Amino acid sequence: MSLQSQSSPEAQKYDIVIVGAGPVGLMLSTCLARWGYKIKHIDNRPEPTQTGRADGIQPRSLDLLRNMGLKSPLMAHKPARVYEVAFWDPAKEGTGIARTGTWASCPSFIDARYPFTTLLHQGHIERVFLADLAKHNVEVQRPWTIKGFTSNEAENPEYPVEVQLEHVDGKASETLRAKYLFGGEGARSFVREQLNIGIKHKDPIEHVWGVMDGVVQTDFPDIQMKCTIHSEHGSIMVIPREDNMVRLYIQIASSTDPDWHPRKTATAEDVQASAQRILQPYTISWERVEWYSVYPIGQGLGDRYTLDCRVFLGGDAVHTHSPKAGQGMNTAFLDAQNLAWKIHLVEAGFADRSVLQTYEQERRQVAESLLDFDNRYAKLFSQRPTAASEAEAALKKKDTGSSEGENAFIKAFKEACEFTSGYGVAYQPNVLNWSPSHPARSPVINPTGSTLRTGRLLINANVTRVVDANVVHLEQEVPMNGSFRIFVFAGKPSVTAGALTDFANKLQSKDSFYMAYQRPDQDQVSYHEQHNPHSLFFTFCTIFSERRSNIEISRHVPSLLARYRAHIYADDQWDRRMPDAKAAAHAKAGLDEEKGGVVVVRPDGYVGMVAQLVEGSGTVDALNEYFGAFTTKKLGQKLRRDRRRIEDRHTSVEVKYDRGLSIRVHANHTAKHRKEVNKPRRDTEPISVPDFPFLALFNNRNSFIDQANVFTSLHLNTLTLDFHFPLLWLPQPFQISRFVKTTGPFSSNALFSSSSSVLRGTYDELLSR
Ligand SMILES: Cc1cc2nc3c(=O)[nH]c(=O)nc-3n(C[C@H](O)[C@H](O)[C@H](O)COP(=O)(O)OP(=O)(O)OC[C@H]3O[C@@H](n4cnc5c(N)ncnc54)[C@H](O)[C@@H]3O)c2cc1C
């Protein structure tokens, strides 16, 4: 390592600087490295995690790791797999503890490919990522730390972030320029502190726990199961691990203790003695202790994940909670994945920069749910007698199928299972997750019967790949390549032949979402390229509701879709969740088994939009509308709107729709309006911009819709207000009844009274005027 400063007047340029090589930083780096980004990744530790920390990979994360090709190297470590949780409580007769029930770790109502938690040391997990990074020539620079940064887009629009890095011994330093900076340095994030982003804590710290990893000798029968054990001597959670190890979480102190103190601690020997008492009548002794730590439990959530969509935070830097439900690392993975593909789509020139705002919107909401759940879970865990009896009731219910005993604990437990498995994530509507208020208004969107929910993961389905008759997992067929996955459920070939041909033809129109983003190097693309032969942003899969032997690609599949020959499937596999369906994948998605439908899945596997597969241009038009709401180019006919002019009694309004609503209001600046404007003015008085720093839009129920900067000018008697609402979509039907001068959404100085409705109707009407 050079001991001299490596800063230079012409700073080195990177796409991103990632600080912290824990789960969040490594996932982000691994994704972006695969897509060819130039990364500077640092960590202040000299080596990856040696002992302790996270060990539980949840089912959804395992799907993701498989999708990235990282599941096999993880499984090579022979991790423990937790299929069931056992509840142990004070024995009803005699002394000591007894098992009172068990419950599936990932119950069958969750459609998981891997219905178990994988337990493996965080260090092994980190090394799997590091090996993958090395394949893409990215190395984590250790032990280096961050000393400072600035971000100024106005000064340097391309590389707005300047970052100062330093070797931890202080003798070498570097100054870099980057497009992005990511703070993934865990709970004590330097980047978060520099941005002055606060952490809100849910409750004061209420529990102190010890955690011990080691190899034990014991006659406790469930030592290779996950167990929650409550006894008159205290509580323990048992987590089996790889290499004959076991992790014990042991409650050391609780806020209900008479001598409660959040800094209370205990030695490893104290904790072992406590474990021996709790496990009676069973015995336990330690061959070796690998790691022991004491930690207080509190739930904290960052106020923001970014301030300028250039410097981002993720993982423990913005959310912390108890480790017992095994969520932190898993949530960190999904934070990073969510940000990675959005940065990719923006930097690759596909998506408007504003999609980066959806990172905080989506992931902060997940963290909020996680903290709520964690808070409840911690409380339920401490209500031990209730928990035990209710777990027993839960067990009975499972056995008998009765709904008796369905109570708060069981409900919470079930919810927890969906949540902790990772399948409970449901992103709210936004420009990526279609809803009725999305700008895409085509009537073919959201076909009746579809059970797919936008913002949720695509269903799992087994299908037969036509070219090699392999039965495959449809949702895993497209690797995490940063592309949208377009699943064309093509129904019965005899029914959909026309619609499929029209779909493929229309995709080839010059202004379709597909043609607008073609690879420039198509001529050089290998014949064997399966996923992105034409465009780096889309991979197509075509699934027929037909037996494999009846599908002939050259006859049934239009040539554009046939180019994705490894992605043509027969929906001919029986599914126990759809025992009567002829085409289970179609049926699981709620799509007509004969007529099919088209499902747009985001690069992270969440459903973005569903449309009917119809003859004519309707399906591609709908996809153009959906993508056109956030792409950098204009797509299709509908969005190429001319300026439209509508008149009303008081005003004329020009409306332009182009990935957002631009409105120019010409108001007759008459005496009547003067009364409605706060300060009476002379007709000729110029109105300066600061007079109207923002205008807010309200709907006809007086609910705030959005606000925008306004540019005003006054010419003769005409007051002109120009404002633009990027990516705005309005409730349907809507009526903009007030323009309000405001410094925030809810202040109210009405510029026009509510009687002066200048815009009303539906989006479609507005666009067709
Ligand atoms: C006892 C325990 C058990 C847990 N069990 C689980 C579990 O089973 N499942 C689960 O999902 N989660 C679990 N967690 C939580 C999990 O460990 C964290 O949520 C997860 O590690 C967060 O990942 P991260 O990348 O955000 O942060 P970290 O893992 O904290 O990584 C941050 C990295 O940044 C580096 N760093 C810090 N500051 C700087 C700096 N200034 N400059 C450079 N580098 C810096 C650190 O050295 C570290 O490598 C557990 C946590 C604990 C404490």
Q: What value does the mean pLDDT take over residues 451-477?
A: 97
Q: Which of 49-63, 73-87, 256-270 has the highest mean pLDDT?
A: 73-87
79 lines ligand 1 (CB under 6 A): no
Residue closest by Cα to atom 6 of ligand 1: 54
Q: What is the structure's pLDDT at 647?
A: 30
Ligand 1 pocket test: pick from 17, 29, 44 the residue with the most ligand atoms within 8 Å of its Cβ: 44
In terms of Cα–Cα distance, which of 277, 279, 372 is closest to 325? 372
* pLDDT per position as a tens digit, 194-206: 999 999 887 766 7
Q: Rounded to 5 degrees, what are φ and ψ at 221?
A: -70, -25
Q: Report how far apart, in Å, the C-alpha atoms of 507 and of each of 360, 495, 516, 549, 637 are.
A: 33, 20, 10, 28, 13
296 lines ligand 1 (CB under 6 A): no
Residue closest by Cα to atom 26 of ligand 1: 315
330 lines ligand 1 (CB under 6 A): yes
374 lines ligand 1 (CB under 6 A): no
Q: What value does the mean pLDDT take over residues 140-156?
A: 96
157 cis-preceded (ω within 30 degrees of 0): no
327 lines ligand 1 (CB under 6 A): yes
166 lines ligand 1 (CB under 6 A): no
Q: What is the structure's pLDDT at 82?
A: 93
Instruction: Look up residue 357 and give its two tokens.
Output: 């705002």
Distance 572 CA to ligand 1 centre (A): 44
Q: What is the structure's pLDDT at 338?
A: 98
Q: Mark 609-644 as b/e (b = at least 16 C-beta within 10 Å).
A: bbbbbbeebbbbbbbbbbbbbbbeebbbebbebeee
HEC readout, 564-618: CHHHEEECCCCCCCCCCCCCHHHHHHCCECCCEEEEEECCCCEEEEEECCCCCCH
320 lines ligand 1 (CB under 6 A): no
143 cis-preceded (ω within 30 degrees of 0): yes
Contacts of 89 (CB under 8 A, 6+ apart): 97, 98, 100, 229, 230, 231, 384, 385, 387, 388
Whether 552 shows a pLDDT value over 50: the answer reads yes
119 lines ligand 1 (CB under 6 A): no
Q: What is the structure's pLDDT at 68?
A: 97
Q: From start to end of 452-535, where are the E strands?
A: 462-465, 471-473, 484-491
Place of tokens 């730390």: 145
Whether 399 shows a pLDDT value over 90: the answer reads no
- DSSP secondary-structure letter at 491? E
* pLDDT per position as a tens digit, 624-659: 999 999 999 888 854 443 323 323 334 455 555 555
Q: Do 516 and 553 contact (CB within 8 A), yes or no?
A: no
Distance 90 CA to ligand 1 centre (A): 35
Q: What value does the mean pLDDT take over residues 652-670?
A: 55
Point out the ligand 1 atom lying closest to the alpha carbon of residue 23: 25
44 lines ligand 1 (CB under 6 A): yes
Point out the ligand 1 atom lying closest to the alpha carbon of residue 145: 42
Q: What is the structure's pLDDT at 636?
A: 81
Whether 308 shows a pLDDT value over 70: the answer reads yes
Q: Do 460 and 598 contact (CB within 8 A), yes or no?
A: no
Residue closest by Cα to atom 20 of ligand 1: 329
Percent over 90 (pLDDT), the chain: 59
Mean pLDDT, the chain, whole residue set: 82
Q: Do 434 and 442 contact (CB within 8 A), yes or no?
A: no
* pLDDT per position as a tens digit, 350-367: 999 999 999 999 999 999
7-11, 372-376, 529-533: range with lowest mean pLDDT: 7-11
Distance 335 CA to ligand 1 centre (A): 13
Q: What is the structure's pLDDT at 721?
A: 58
HEC readout, 709-730: EEEEEEECCEEEEEEEEECCCC
Q: What is the structure's pLDDT at 207?
A: 73
Residue closest by Cα to atom 52 of ligand 1: 53
Distance CA 639, CA 767 (A): 9
82 lines ligand 1 (CB under 6 A): no
Q: Report how far apart, in Å, the C-alpha atoms of 202 and of each of 166, 186, 364, 366, 680 are.
A: 35, 18, 14, 15, 48
Distance CA 574, CA 1 (A): 59
Distance 446 CA to ligand 1 centre (A): 40
Q: Report how far apart, in Å, the C-alpha atoms of 702 and of each of 665, 734, 738, 748, 751 are.
A: 20, 11, 8, 11, 14
Q: What is the structure's pLDDT at 598?
A: 98
Contacts of 98 (CB under 8 A, 6+ apart): 88, 89, 90, 91, 92
Q: Which of 88-97, 405-414, 591-600 has the highest mean pLDDT?
A: 591-600
42 lines ligand 1 (CB under 6 A): yes
Task: Give residue 71's region: left, alpha or beta (phi > 0; psi -120 to 50).
Answer: alpha
Chain-centroid distance of CA 301 in Å reads 16
23 lines ligand 1 (CB under 6 A): yes
In terms of Cα–Cα distance, which of 662, 655, 626 is closest to 438? 626
Q: Do 140 and 42 contact (CB within 8 A), yes or no?
A: yes
Residue 125's H or E segment, with its range, is helix 122-135
Distance CA 229, CA 251 (A): 11
- DSSP bridge partners of 543: 489, 569
Distance CA 297, CA 303 (A): 19
Distance 604 CA to ligand 1 centre (A): 23
Distance 22 CA to ligand 1 centre (A): 5
- Per DSSP bridges, beta strands 234-240 and 738-741 are unpaired
Chain-centroid distance of CA 495 in Å reads 37
326 lines ligand 1 (CB under 6 A): yes
Whether 401 shows a pLDDT value over 50: the answer reads no
Q: What value does the mean pLDDT take over residues 34-44?
A: 97
260 lines ligand 1 (CB under 6 A): no
Distance CA 155, CA 446 (A): 44
Other beta carbons within 10 Å of 505: 14
281 cis-preceded (ω within 30 degrees of 0): yes
Other beta carbons within 10 Å of 522: 11
Residue closest by Cα to atom 9 of ligand 1: 326
282 lines ligand 1 (CB under 6 A): no
Q: Do 42 and 191 contact (CB within 8 A), yes or no?
A: no
Whether 695 shows a pLDDT value over 90: the answer reads no
Distance 19 CA to ligand 1 centre (A): 12
DSSP string computed for 130-158: HHHHHHTT--EETTEEEEEEEE-TTT-SS
Q: Which of 208-212, 415-419, 528-532 has the highest mean pLDDT?
A: 528-532
Which comes out higher in pLDDT, residue 17 or 667? 17
Whether 687 shows a pLDDT value over 90: the answer reads no
Distance 51 CA to ligand 1 centre (A): 12
22 lines ligand 1 (CB under 6 A): yes
Residue closest by Cα to atom 11 of ligand 1: 329
Other beta carbons within 10 Å of 584: 24
Please tell me whether residue 340 adopts helix, strand or coil conformation. Answer: helix
Q: What value does the mean pLDDT take over residues 484-497?
A: 97
Residue closest by Cα to atom 44 of ligand 1: 43
Using 50, 70 and 90 to split pLDDT, how confident is the model at 93? confident
Q: Mark 70-101 as b/e (b = at least 16 C-beta within 10 Å).
A: bbebbbeeebbbbeebbbbbbeeeeeebeebb
- DSSP secondary-structure letter at 185? -
43 lines ligand 1 (CB under 6 A): yes
Point out the ligand 1 atom lying closest to the alpha carbon of residue 329: 11
Q: What value does the mean pLDDT take over residues 229-244?
A: 88
Distance 18 CA to ligand 1 centre (A): 14
Please tell me whether residue 200 adopts helix, strand or coil conformation. Answer: strand
Which comes out higher in pLDDT, residue 619 or 299? 619
Q: What is the structure's pLDDT at 711?
A: 55
Ligand 1 pocket test: pick from 28, 42, 53, 337 the residue with the most ligand atoms within 8 Å of its Cβ: 53
Ligand 1 pocket test: pick from 24, 43, 370 the residue with the most ligand atoms within 8 Å of its Cβ: 43
Q: Do 665 and 656 contact (CB within 8 A), yes or no?
A: no
Point out the ligand 1 atom lying closest to the alpha carbon of residue 211: 1
315 lines ligand 1 (CB under 6 A): yes
HEC readout, 655-705: EEECCEEEEEEEEECCHHHHHHCCCCCCCCCCCCHHHCCEEEEECCCCCEE
Distance 50 CA to ligand 1 centre (A): 12
Residue closest by Cα to atom 14 of ligand 1: 54
Distance 615 CA to ligand 1 centre (A): 52
Distance CA 169, CA 144 (A): 8
Q: What is the structure's pLDDT at 373?
A: 83
Q: What value does the mean pLDDT take over residues 567-579?
A: 96
Q: What is the structure's pLDDT at 382?
A: 60
Using 50, 70 and 90 to split pLDDT, how confident is the model at 471? very high
54 lines ligand 1 (CB under 6 A): yes
Q: What is the structure's pLDDT at 402?
A: 41
190 lines ligand 1 (CB under 6 A): yes
Distance 447 CA to ligand 1 centre (A): 43
Whether 265 shows a pLDDT value over 80: the answer reads no
Distance CA 581, CA 570 (A): 14
